Amino acid sequence: MKAFGVEVFSIGVGEVNYNTLQAIASAPDKKHVTQFIDLSDMQEIITILSDILCPSAVTTEPASPPSPEPVSLPQETSAPVSPPSPEPVSLPQVTTALVSPASPEPATQPEVTASAVKECVAEQKADLVFLLDGSTSVTEDNFMKVLNAVQMIVDSLNIGADKVRVALVQYSGSFFGGKNTLHFNLDQYNNAADLHKAISSVSYMKGFTYTGKALDYTLKNVFEAKARPSVAKVLILITDGNANDIVTIPAKNVKDFGVTVYSIGVGNINLDQLKEIASDPDSEHVFTVENFANLEKILQQLGSSICDEAQV
């Protein structure tokens, strides 16, 4: 269809696969792919499409209109409401067709052994936060695998009040908005044994994937509230799904606070969104794995990077 010259825009509403929208739409994605939680912003969506597809016919001189800049869309409302009835808008032919999305290529990372991680633990000082996706698509069995992998990272670190401190936040949500649980904060546990018990007691939440709201919550309630100003600040995000909200501004705010962000995607996930969340360069901060069984290996590799961040 696109080869025939049809310009395709795809709009996803609800918990829809971003890769499917991406595969359907024309390039570039920023112009042609839009995703919302519900229909409450449909009037705004139509207005934006009208501006993009139907630029003003009156110009001061004959010229081709410039390409539109990417449009920042408003945050979703906290509760679903019925959309207002939009005025009819005359648009050019826009057609969608269902195709199978392409799987993102996993990021290739160098092999890192556990011994390499252990070599620098004595010098570590950092505030490390795990931000875990607890949405329904993860499943309880896989969430337990995530917790086991987190335990492995804790074992490789020099835990202490004046050394490495750890916090853990789990996020999900419903049609009424995001839900975040701060299982423990940075100043709560000062030894590995207590951390192990706390991690083992974490319960799986279920729900939607409100990653943007989770980033906002973690910045306010963990980093801004408890982080030490003189040590490295690190966030490890682990998710298996595409966010049901906007992540651009929340991710920028976290990184602007001086936090190094690593994003780990499991399964068929939106790689561009992982890159948007993570710190630069992508090659060092973005990881993908096919399934949760391979997550432990990725976190083992991450241990060396955390060690580098935590050097004093």
40: in domain: yes
The rounded distance, in Å, linking the Cα atoms of 2 and 25 is 8
Which of 207, 176, 213, 188 is CA-nearest to residue 81? 176
Per-residue pLDDT averaged across 251-256, rounded? Answer: 98
Same domain, 18 and 149: no
What pLDDT, on a 0 to 100 scale, did the predictor assign at position 157?
87
Dihedral sign (CA 204, 205, 210, 212): negative
Per-residue pLDDT averaged across 53-68, rounded? Answer: 45
213: in domain: yes
Q: Which residue has the higher pLDDT, 308 or 197?
A: 197
Same domain, 18 and 153: no
The residue segments making up the domain with residue 227 are 114-310
Do the beta carbons of residue 312 and residue 288 sit within 8 Å? no
pTM attached to this predicted model: 0.63
201: in domain: yes
Same domain, 155 and 72: no
Same domain, 91 and 137: no
Same domain, 86 and 183: no
Same domain, 170 and 213: yes
What pLDDT, on a 0 to 100 scale, did the predictor assign at position 22?
75
What pLDDT, on a 0 to 100 scale, did the predictor assign at position 259?
97
The rounded distance, in Å, linking the Cα atoms of 10 and 74 is 18
The rounded distance, in Å, linking the Cα atoms of 16 and 177 is 16
pLDDT band of residue 41 (cuts 50, 70, 90) is very low
Does the structure show a pLDDT above 70 at 10? yes
Q: Chain-centre distance of CA 262, in angstroms?
A: 10
Q: Could you tell me the two tokens for 1?
A: 């269809």
CATH code of the domain covering residue 192: 3.40.50.410
74: in domain: yes
Does the structure show a pLDDT above 80 at 108? no
Same domain, 92 and 121: no
154: in domain: yes
Distances (CA, A) of 181 to 34, 132, 147: 28, 10, 15
Same domain, 130 and 67: no
Same domain, 88 and 133: no
Q: Does an H or E element contain 12, and which? A: strand 10-13
Q: Which of 25-34, 51-60, 251-260 has the lowest mean pLDDT?
A: 51-60
Q: Could you tell me the two tokens for 237?
A: 């995000």
First to last CA, the chain: 57
**pLDDT, tens digit (0-9, with 9 covering 90-100), for 80-107:** 444 444 444 444 443 433 333 334 444 4
Question: 113: phi > 0 → left, psi -120 to 50 → alpha, else beta; which?
Answer: beta
What pLDDT, on a 0 to 100 scale, did the predictor assign at position 289?
87
Same domain, 64 and 136: no
The rounded distance, in Å, linking the Cα atoms of 113 and 111 is 7
Q: Which of 142-146, 278-282, 307-311 has the lowest mean pLDDT?
A: 307-311
Residue position matching structure tokens 């804790």 = 154
| Amino acid of residue 67 | S
Do the beta carbons of residue 12 and residue 39 sit within 8 Å? no
Do the beta carbons of residue 244 and residue 15 sit within 8 Å? yes
Do the beta carbons of residue 26 and residue 8 sit within 8 Å? yes
Same domain, 135 and 78: no
Q: Could you tell me the two tokens for 238?
A: 């682990």
What pLDDT, on a 0 to 100 scale, did the predictor assign at position 268?
84
Q: Please, which residues bridge with residue 132 across strands?
A: 170, 238
Does the structure show a pLDDT above 50 at 19? yes
What pLDDT, on a 0 to 100 scale, did the predictor assign at position 225?
98
109: in domain: no
The whole-chain average pLDDT of the chain stands at 76
Does the structure show a pLDDT above 50 at 24? yes
235: in domain: yes
| Amino acid of residue 250 | P
Same domain, 129 and 263: yes
Does the structure show a pLDDT above 60 at 308? yes
* Domain total in the chain: 2
